Amino acid sequence: MYLKQLNMVNYRNYKQLNVQFSPNINIFIGKNAQGKTNLLESIYYLAFARSHRTNVDRQLINFESPFAKVSSRIYKRQTSNILELVTSNRGKKASINHLEQKRLSAYIGQLNVVLFSPENLNLIKGSPSQRRRFLDLEFGQIDNRYLISLARYQRILKQRNTFLKKMTYQKEPDFLYLEVLTRQLVDVAAIVIELRLKYLTHLEQMAKDIHFQISNQTETLAFHYQTANYDFKQKNDKQTVVDFLINQFSKVQNREIKLGTTLIGPHRDDINFEINDKDLQSFGSQGQQRSCVLSLKLAEIKLIKQVTHESPILLLDDVLSELDSKRQAALIEIIDEDIQTFITTTDLDSVSKELQHKPTIYEVSNGNLVNKGVKNDPK
Amino acid sequence: MQYPLPIAKLIESYMKLPGIGQKTATRLAFFTLNMEIEDIQDFSKSLVEVKTELHYCSICGNITQEDPCEICRDERVDRSSILVVEQPKDILSFENMGEYFGLYHVLNGVLSPMDGVSVDDLNIKSLIKRLQDHSVKEVILALNSSSEGEATAMYLSKLIKPSGIKVSRLASGLAVGSDIEYADDLTLKRAMTGRQEV
Ligand SMILES: Nc1ncnc2c1ncn2[C@@H]1O[C@H](COP(=O)(O)OP(=O)(O)O)[C@@H](O)[C@H]1O
Ligand SMILES: [Mg+2]
Ligand SMILES: [Zn+2]
């Protein structure tokens, strides 16, 4: 899939922008704080109806304006759809072909995007919540069932946490209602975990191959999904997960009541990465962690292709300068398979020569874009 | 500039209704200003009477002018089954369908800790008390399929089951997340015949 043009009104430092893109490689070049990331962010926003940099939509609205609007027509193999997001202090409106979508779960997934930015390099070392967020966004954009189950999980979790908080201070708490909430939570938790395991297993297989290549055939990458400090494998069916969770919940019940919060479930789960059977978080070098994240991102592209039969759009924000030629080569191999790519950089020199193969170059300055045309093959 | 007091107060009153913000309230207030005085008198009378003339039925929780309500008093009603609903207006949906001839019980909401609704806020104790009368053989739970509706149904069935009374739930002719209020007769009929014991 690709976008031919992008329209923005009052988005960040873009007052009004209407720009045409190449279906292949687009490079945005400019000094710092000119609006390069803002541009990629707007495409990401159009895909997920949320920014990767903030949870506060108000920050996306131009300082001097009451609303922000982003829209584009997305071309797929068989169809094309117009996506539009408008955000104001009254909330956001997402529409497909001018039809407003009441539920975001009906909107997300129309546009598939893979973003790679320097912050992602922290994925291995960073907090578990970053890794869960990664899973939720990536699997949410390819499987509507995942989005819906996750939303339902979060709602029941909120009810259960509120109830547990109340139980903490009650003389005669209602254990029957807690049992009901636990059962309800476990049922949907099992669906979320089942889907996470399913897609993670695919992702692992593909990332493993890519990582093996980048590491000159020396490193074998492996993922482990952990729930309640227990390694889960895909072969666990839903009933096994349900039984396991119910058993775990019975063990922590007293602590949950004392602390007034839910202690186990997908909102607490994590993934561990291993290289040659050694934990990457504790023992991996920075270079290994980088390769792992790159492999993961590239595997994500393949997973999206496999599930949706369309190539996602790739956004590379200031990340090329962080990747050496070997890693850039792995990237190029994937991009060559016909993926619309948006690259930002302050300096064309950090962009590998192969990536400069006939890209369309735009100069970004202070919320304006100037199309510098197609750069001729430097070779 | 501020609006004259009577209109400002009317705007404020309209804003107390669900889903009505300042803009709509202002439009409604100015519309009211141009209405015939007879219509306005009828309107204000209904507003007061809905509160003074209507009571909750002390048995089933339905809204009624006389206590107990018409259905609870009706000799022809099948007293072996109780249909449990969230709101009084749900009773109307089932009565209009014309396929159910038993008693009702209005919970007046669903369990929702987030909204501060707990067991004591709902007509649950009165339901359990009604079941002590041995004529009741079946309780049918007709709650919405929101996660709160489902949890409430599960809670009630766990509460009632030990007494040996049959508990069933409306089958999922109702789409997930849908409201009984908006279900058409056919959907309700299908849900009713396909109800499952829980
Ligand atoms: N809501 C907003 N309204 C106007 N300008 C904004 C808004 N949010 C950020 N900016 C401006 O955008 C610029 C940063 O853009 P960014 O895309 O992050 O830069 P870079 O080109 O370095 O990637 C800053 O000048 C900042 O002041
Ligand atoms: Mg930037
Ligand atoms: Zn009654």
Mean pLDDT for B171-179 is: 54
Tokens of B133: 């009368």
Mean pLDDT for B151-175 is: 86
A140 touches A108 (CB < 8 A): yes
- Nearest-CA neighbor of B53 among B41, B66, B72, B42? B66
Residue B164 CA to residue A333 CA, distance in Å, equals 67
Query: What CATH number corresponds to the domain at position B75?
Result: 3.40.1360.10
B122 touches B111 (CB < 8 A): yes
Q: How far is B112 from chain A (nearest CA, A)?
A: 7
Spacing, Cα B133 to ligand 3 middle (Å): 15
Would you say A353 is a known binding-site residue? no
**B119 contacts A159? CB cut-off 8 A:** no
**B114 contacts A180? CB cut-off 8 A:** no
End of a domain among A309, A339, A354?
A309
Query: What CATH number corresponds to the domain at position B33?
Result: 1.10.8.420
Mean pLDDT for B51-60 is: 92
Q: What is the pLDDT of residue A356?
A: 66
Amino acid at A205: Q
Tokens of A68: 């922000």
End of a domain among A278, A294, A309?
A309
Q: What is the pLDDT of residue B186?
A: 67
Residue A104 CA to residue A45 CA, distance in Å, equals 12
Computed over every residue of chain B, the mean pLDDT equals 89
Q: Which residues, in sequence order, are CB contacts of A332 under 8 Å at separation 6+?
A: A352, A354, A355
* Same domain (yes/no): A70, A180: no
* Same domain (yes/no): B17, B106: no
Q: Is B154 on the interface with A (CB under 8 A)?
A: yes
* Same domain (yes/no): B112, B41: no
Would you say A30 is a known binding-site residue? yes
* Same domain (yes/no): A366, A294: no
Would you say A34 is a known binding-site residue? yes
pLDDT of chain A, 379 residues: tens digit per residue: 999 999 999 999 999 999 999 999 999 999 999 999 999 999 999 999 999 999 999 999 999 999 999 999 999 999 999 999 999 988 999 999 999 999 999 999 999 999 999 889 889 999 999 999 999 999 999 999 999 999 999 999 999 999 999 999 999 999 999 999 999 999 999 999 999 999 999 999 999 999 999 999 999 999 999 998 788 876 678 888 999 999 999 999 999 999 999 999 999 999 999 999 999 999 999 999 999 999 999 999 999 999 999 999 999 999 988 888 888 888 888 887 789 999 999 988 888 777 766 789 999 999 999 988 786 654 4
- Interface probe for A, chosen from B114, B176, B178 (most Cβ of A below 10 Å), is B114
Mutate to test the pocket of ligand 1, among A34, A343, A344 (most ligand atoms within 8 A of CB): A34
End of a domain among A264, A289, A309?
A309
Tokens of A268: 């607490």
On chain A, the residues whose CB falls within 8 A of the CB of B147 are 152, 155-156, 159, 184
Mean pLDDT for B85-111 is: 94
Q: What is the pLDDT of residue A379?
A: 43
- Nearest-CA neighbor of A279 among A329, A347, A224? A224
Q: What is the pTM of this model?
A: 0.88
Report if residue A170 sits inside a domain: yes
Query: What CATH number corresponds to the domain at position A207?
Result: 1.20.1050.90
Spatial strand order in the sheet of B102-106: B102-106, B78-85, B138-141, B166-169, B196-197
Report if residue A208 sits inside a domain: yes
Domain residue limits at A38: 1-112+311-378
* Same domain (yes/no): B85, B14: no
* Same domain (yes/no): B75, B36: no
* Same domain (yes/no): A250, A328: no
Report if residue A301 sits inside a domain: yes
Cα angle B89, B78, B62 (rounded to 5 degrees) comes to 25
Spacing, Cα A60 to ligand 2 middle (Å): 15
The count of other CB atoms within 10 Å of the CB of residue B111 is: 26
Q: Which residues, in sequence order, are CB contacts of B78 under 8 Å at separation 6+?
A: B101, B102, B103
Atom of ligand 1 nearest to the CA of A364: 21
With 80 as the cut, is the pLDDT of residue B196 above it? no
Give the number of A-B residue pairs with CB atoms closer than 8 Å. 37
When comparing pLDDT for A155 and B53, which is higher? A155
With 60 as the cut, is the pLDDT of residue B117 above it? yes
Q: What is the pLDDT of residue B97?
A: 86
* Same domain (yes/no): B31, B75: no
* Same domain (yes/no): A213, A298: yes
Residue A241 CA to residue A256 CA, distance in Å, equals 20
Domain residue limits at B97: 71-197
3-state secondary structure of B134: coil
Q: What is the pLDDT of residue A234?
A: 67
Query: What CATH number corresponds to the domain at position A76?
Result: 3.40.50.300
* Same domain (yes/no): A318, A223: no
A178 → chain B, closest CA residue: B155
Residue B90 CA to residue B92 CA, distance in Å, equals 5
ipTM of the complex: 0.85
Mean pLDDT for B172-186 is: 59
* Same domain (yes/no): B172, B90: yes
* Same domain (yes/no): A246, A257: yes
Number of structural domains, chain A?
2
Closest C-alpha to ligand 1, atom 11: A13
3-state secondary structure of B67: coil
Q: Which residues, in sequence order, are CB contacts of A120 under 8 Å at separation 6+?
A: A293, A297, A319
Q: Which ligand is nearest to the CA of B71?
A: 3
* Same domain (yes/no): A357, A222: no
* Same domain (yes/no): A11, A148: no
**A152 contacts B158? CB cut-off 8 A:** no
Q: What is the 3-state secondary structure (H, E, C) of chain A?
A: CEEEEEEEEEECCEEEEEEECCCCEEEEECCCCCCHHHHHHHHHHHHHCCCCCCCCHHHHECCCCCEEEEEEEEECCCCEEEEEEEEECCEEEEEECCEECCCHHHHCCCCCEEEECHHHHHCCCCCHHHHHHHHHHHHHCCCHHHHHHHHHHHHHHHHHHHHHHHHHCCCCCCHHHHHHHHHHHHHHHHHHHHHHHHHHHHHHHHHHHHHHHHCCCCCCEEEEEEECCEEECCCCCHHHHHHHHHHHHHHHHHHHHHHCCCCCCCCCCEEEEEECCEEHHHHCCHHHHHHHHHHHHHHHHHHHHHHHCCCCEEEEECCHHHCCHHHHHHHHHHHCCCCCEEEEECCHHHCCHHHHCCCEEEEEECCEEEEEEECCCCC
Q: Name the residue among A156, A174, A177 with its Cβ closest to that of B147.
A: A156
Atom of ligand 1 nearest to the CA of A64: 3
With 60 as the cut, is the pLDDT of residue B27 above it? yes
In the DSSP assignment, the letter for residue B175 is P
